[in-house]
């Protein structure tokens, strides 16, 4: 079981990323999963990727790898020994064609996020659009674990009308953004249920990256429900974008 790792400096998160595991032997192309996750975080100044190490389980431990309880315990113990805050464990289920990433909070010793995405495949059986799928999973993990979200900052239309057409979006090359990527545009709303408050995502529109301006900013072209976007911005509501493909 291989391990990529990063250290925390000045409040940055210490994370470890294990090599992807599969339910049925090696699969061409999947070896890129962990390195692409590392590459994503390497360009984010909230994380610093500094090295790659290989960790081998002893033989009797390898025989028990199919035990979820054993894997959970191994990852938490490894994280404690190395001084990590969080460990990422990517898994590919060949039968269901699902790539999932489990995130462990080492101090609590529990799984705090388990995000998954379905992978498409070529006629040769290799995964396609892998980078987009990984970006989608990482975005979910970041929102789930660290409350990191990609903010929509303002409308950039020269003439403001009832419908927003172009938005300044806080995502760029550092976040592996690509032109033509499609995003849900959403806001967070709070619902009161049984005396408790719960936050949920309310999708109000759709958009597509039209231009990547630099390392951290892009122009998001609104492709659906521009009026709802303009109404939300005029009401000073914070909007976000979530990658869907």
The CATH architecture to which 2-146 belongs is: 3-Layer(aba) Sandwich (3.40)
Maximal CA-CA distance, the chain: 68
96 band by pLDDT with thresholds 50, 70 and 90: confident
Predicted confidence band of residue 225 (pLDDT cuts 50, 70, 90):
very high
Task: Look at residue 53 in the predicted model and tell me its pLDDT.
Answer: 39
* Residue 170 pLDDT greater than 70, yes or no: yes
pLDDT higher than 90, residue 74: no
**Full DSSP string of the chain:** -EEEEEE--TT---EEEEPPEESSS--TTTTHHHHHHHHHHHT-TT-EEEEEEE-PPPHHHHTTTT-HHHHHHHHHHHHHHHT-SEEEEEEEETTTTEEEEEEEETTTTEEEEEEEEEPEE-TTS-EESHHHHHHHHHHHHIIIII---EEEEEE--SS--SS--EEEES--GGGT--TT-EEEEEEEEEEEETTEEEEEEEEEEEEEEEEE-SSS-EEEEEEE-HHHHHHHHHTT--EEEEE--
Domain boundaries, the chain: 2-146, 150-243
Q: Which residue has better confidence, 217 or 135?
A: 217
Do 2-146 and 150-243 fold alike per CATH? Answer: no
| Mean pLDDT score, 27-42 | 79
Look up the pTM and report it: 0.71
Do 156 and 207 form a contact (C-beta atoms < 8 A)?
A: no
Average pLDDT score over residue span 92-116 = 88
- Return the CATH fold of 150-243: Thrombin, subunit H (2.40.10)
Higher pLDDT, 48 or 196: 196
| Whether pLDDT at 89 is above 80 | yes
**CB-based contact 187:204 (threshold 8 Å):** yes
């Amino acid at each position: 079981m291989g391990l990529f790792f990063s250290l925390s400096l000045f409040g940055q998160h210490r994370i470890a990323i294990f090599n992807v595991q599969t339910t049925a032997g090696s699969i061409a192309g999947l070896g890129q999963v962990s390195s692409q996750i590392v590459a994503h975080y390497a360009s984010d100044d909230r994380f610093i990727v500094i090295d790659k190490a290989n960790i081998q389980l002893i033989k009797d431990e390898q025989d028990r790898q199919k035990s979820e309880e054993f894997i959970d315990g191994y990852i938490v113990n490894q994280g404690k020994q190395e001084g990590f805050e969080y460990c990422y464990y990517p898994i590919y289920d060949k039968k269901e064609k699902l790539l999932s990433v489990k995130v462990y909070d080492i101090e609590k010793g529990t799984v705090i996020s388990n995000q998954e995405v379905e992978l498409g495949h070529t006629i040769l059986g290799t995964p396609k659009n892998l980078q987009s799928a990984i970006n989608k999973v990482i975005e979910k993990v970041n929102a789930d674990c660290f409350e990191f979200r990609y903010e929509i900052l303002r409308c950039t239309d020269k003439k403001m009308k009832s419908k927003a057409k172009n938005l300044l979006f806080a995502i760029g090359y550092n976040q592996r953004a690509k032109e033509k990527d499609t995003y849900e545009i959403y806001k967070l709303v709070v619902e009161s249920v049984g005396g408790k408050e719960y936050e949920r995502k309310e999708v109000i529109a759709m958009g597509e990256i039209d231009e990547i301006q630099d390392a951290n900013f892009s122009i998001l072209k609104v492709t659906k429900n521009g009026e709802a976007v303009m109404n939300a911005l005029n009401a000073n509501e914070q909007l976000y974008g979530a990658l869907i493909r």
